[in-house]
Structure 1
Amino acid sequence: MSKNRYFIQLAYDGSLYHGWQTQPNAIAVQELLDKAMSVVFRQPIETLGCGRTDAGVHAADFFAHFDIENLAETNVISSIASINALLPYQIAAKQIIPVHNDAHARFDATSRAYKYHIHFVKNPFKYNRSWLLKDRLDITLMNIAAAELLNYTDFSCFSKSNTQTFTNNCKIVKAVFEEEDNGLVFTIKADRFLRNMVRAIMGTLIQIGKGELNLEEFKAIIESKNRSKAGQSVPACGLYLVKVEYNYIK
């Protein structure tokens, strides 16, 4: 049988879902996508995502790969409207891209970028899409601390415990806060991220902004490689996966 591999690009509001990955006793984005695609293509479809987003986390840019047997490329690519018709409103398929048969949505990604949104004034239109924070923060100090992240590679202190990873090393190339519309947006980009890493980094940087930690203490936390020394993870509602890059996708 002839089998070809494709990437599907998605966006989703994670508020109602227990993350990306299919799991028992909870509704996940992957489960709904696989079911919709299996109906459209009339064969069992199992996707593999570019990563795992936790419950309540959103994605403006997400990729997964899947294999199709005995179906013309043009028919696969043109199926986006049919797939979207079967998906709930919170999940949108953007495009399907033919790739080589060894392409891997997770391992081939060269970089990922996240944004975390904070707002300071109650706004019903930001409910479940941004974190309402009443504390005022020293953004200058937070940016100084965020810049220090680029000087490190081992981020064990920001990793969820008991995860099955071969290394806790990541190369962060951007970490910056910007003021925006009565709020704050944190952008972070790296070659890879550990589970819960962005939310743990945010929780620790918030402590800097509140004056609860200084820069030397922040660096000592990173160097300790101890999760219990870092700040609490911030709520999932403000976190968005915004960009995933591959060398062979433009």
Structure 2
Amino acid sequence: MATFKITLAYDGTEFVGWQRQATGTSIQGLLEGALGELDGRKVTVTGAGRTDAGVHALGQVASCSIERSIASGQLVGALNARLPVDVRVLSAAEVPPTFHARFDARAKTYRYRIWNADVVSPFERRYAWHVDAALDVGAMNAAARLLEGRHDFAAFRAAGSAARTTDRMVIASRVDRRDRLVVYEITGDGFLRYMVRAIVGTLVEIGRGRQPPEWMGDVLGARDRARAGPTAPPEGLFLVRVDYGGPGKVPLKADTTGV
């Protein structure tokens, strides 16, 4: 039995999300199906992040154990031959059997893309939120910086969230403009469901001039979802990478992740 760390990218447009569902096609279900076909038995996969329907990934990480003896490079090719073209395995690395993609993660980075122009490019409509109103990126970035550090993010969680704690550490939170794209990037030790999208919706309210940058701090302190901005749509959100560095790092073998 060998345990693998698998890094993959996917276009989430056509899927119900990462997590296996009773109906609809999930990324987890596709990967488990491909591994099961390869291994000749049922294989369970654990993902580092549970991306929602319509959300994309550039560097999702999954862990699994299989009985078949196979080299990491061969596993990449074998899985990609069994997966649809909008899901690609980027790398595979054999790891100790104790490795857990979710619980061993030290940090995750998400990126949200906003297409800020009168007309949305047909090549961006699946990968960015179209906001045609002028956005003050300086004000948005000032507000985003207020989220750095350890805070209670209850104001940005999904309604009815069952999270045991809403405290999270945000390592970096930045907004910048790249021509017609406004890009928000956030790195933290963990995220609540819809947290990034709720933050983006709040940032857009500030960018449009409806609220000042310091309003972000007021919303954070209120711990009330009703005080924050709307939840941004899923298509602009990407899971960029998952980090496993730092003290207590799991010793990986032959990890060739290129994300």
TM range (shorter): over 0.9
Task: List aligned pairs for 1:1-250, cutoff 5 A.
Answer: 3-69=1-67, 71-74=68-71, 77-121=73-117, 122-247=120-245, 248=250, 249=252
Gaps in structure 1 of 5+ consecutive residues: none
Instruction: Report Cα offsets for 1:62-91 as digits up to 9, x if no partner.
Output: 01111112x3253x5522112111111100
Q: Secondary structure at the match of 2:151?
A: coil
Write the distance in 1 (CA, Å) between the matches of 2:212 and 2:75. 53
Instruction: Report Cα offsets for 1:37-56 as digits up to 9, x if no partner.
Output: 11112221110111210100
Q: Secondary structure at the match of 1:94?
A: strand
Shift of 1:177: 1.1
Shift of 1:159: 0.7
Write the distance in 2 (CA, Å) between the matches of 1:51 and 1:166. 17
Higher helix share: 1
Gaps in structure 2 of 5+ consecutive residues: none
Conservation of the 8 A alpha-carbon contact between 1:40 and 1:79? no
Conservation of the 8 A alpha-carbon contact between 1:57 and 1:240? yes
Q: Secondary structure at the match of 1:30?
A: helix
> Which runs of at least 4 in structure 1 moved beyond 6 Å after TM superposition?
none
What TM-score comes out, normalization by structure 1 length? 0.94
Write the distance in 2 (CA, Å) between the matches of 1:125 and 1:215. 31
Identity over aligned pairs, percent: 34
CA root-mean-square deviation: 1.4
Task: Give the letter aligned to residue 69 of structure 2.
Answer: A
What TM-score comes out, normalization by structure 2 length? 0.91
Conservation of the 8 A alpha-carbon contact between 2:141 and 2:174? yes
Write the distance in 2 (CA, Å) between the matches of 1:162 and 1:7. 32
